[in-house]
Every structure is written in structure tokens, then in C-alpha cells.
Amino acid sequence: MPHRLLNTHLAYISNRAFVYSPHVAHDHNPFAGVKHLRIPAGAFSYSPTSGAPFPQSRNGSEGSSSDGLPPRAVSEEYFRTVCPWWKTVRLSVSQTSETLGLDLENDDFLTVMVAWGKKLSEMKDSCVDINDGSLFHWKCGTRSFRWLNLTFAM
């Protein structure tokens, strides 16, 4: 869950929609073995991470997107409909991070968040898919966890 929060925040600061994937129930108990059962992200949490609106616009008032309200998160299915592969710009985590001067093994979350947020917000492309790895590296003691890939839409 923490990776979704960080990815949603990255989408927020870059004025893009976070793209979330459904919960695939057959990968988890008690639904192991039940094929094609997908549970929408909103069933677990009604929040900006699952498509709910952010509480208020960037300027502090309620309003429409023209008043600065950030885009809502969208489902992966919707993203693939409005952003087919031929319209989607793919960014490699490793190559883009190197271009941005980042060291994903050692830089903190804030450094990565600011650099990638700036990169994404400056892009004119409506459909962007960040692949080939994970932006955020979570270290806990001697164990490390790579966080999931991200996909964003504008």
C-alpha cells in the first residue's frame, strides 16, 4: 500500500492521473483458484489512490479542474482505452533516472519525488508509462523491496 500512496502523490505533484490496477482476487485467499475475479480498488479504499477526488483544489478552494483541481486516478482498463500503446510514451526508470542524475539505490524519497515530479509535469505527452523497474526503493534493515511500476495519464 505505501507504494500506491507515493505513486499517487507523484501523480498529484506532476498534475497527472495515477493509474491503478484492480485487486486480482485469485492471487489471494480466500479466493485462490477463482479465475477472472477482479475487485475494484475502490472496494478497499475510497481515496484519491482509487479515483476519489482530492479534497480541494491546489489554491485551497473547492472547484473544477479549471480551478486547479488535480486529475482523479483512473483504472488501468480506462487508461489502456484512452492511451493505446501507440499513443503512450514509455519511460525507463533506470535510463530516465540516470538522465536526471538520480541514484535510486541511495537517494531518498524526496529527491526522487521532486526530480520525477518535475520531469513528468514538464512533459507535453498525455499518456506516460513508467516501466523497467520501480522508482522507490524501500529498505528495511538488511532486506530491500522494489516497489511496483507506475503508469500515469494526463
Backbone torsions φ then ψ of 125, nearest 5 degrees: -65, 135
Q: Which of 47-51, 57-61, 75-79 has the highest mean pLDDT?
A: 75-79
Nearest residue to 72 (alpha-carbon basis) of 90, 47, 91: 47
Structural domains of the chain, count:
1
Q: Is 140 left (phi over 0), alpha (psi -120 to 50) or beta?
A: beta
Q: How far apart are CA 107 and CA 152, in angstroms?
A: 22
- pLDDT, average across residues 101-124: 90
The mean-pLDDT minimum among 28-37, 68-77, 134-143 falls in 134-143
pTM (2 decimals)?
0.73
Tell me if residue 19 falls in helix, strand or coil. Answer: strand
Residue 138 pLDDT > 80, yes or no? no
Pick the residue with more confidence: 18 or 46?
A: 18
Residue 54: CA count within 13 A, CB half-sphere: 27
Share of the chain above pLDDT 90, in %: 31
Provide the domain limits for residue 35. Answer: 2-153
- 144: cell is 530491500
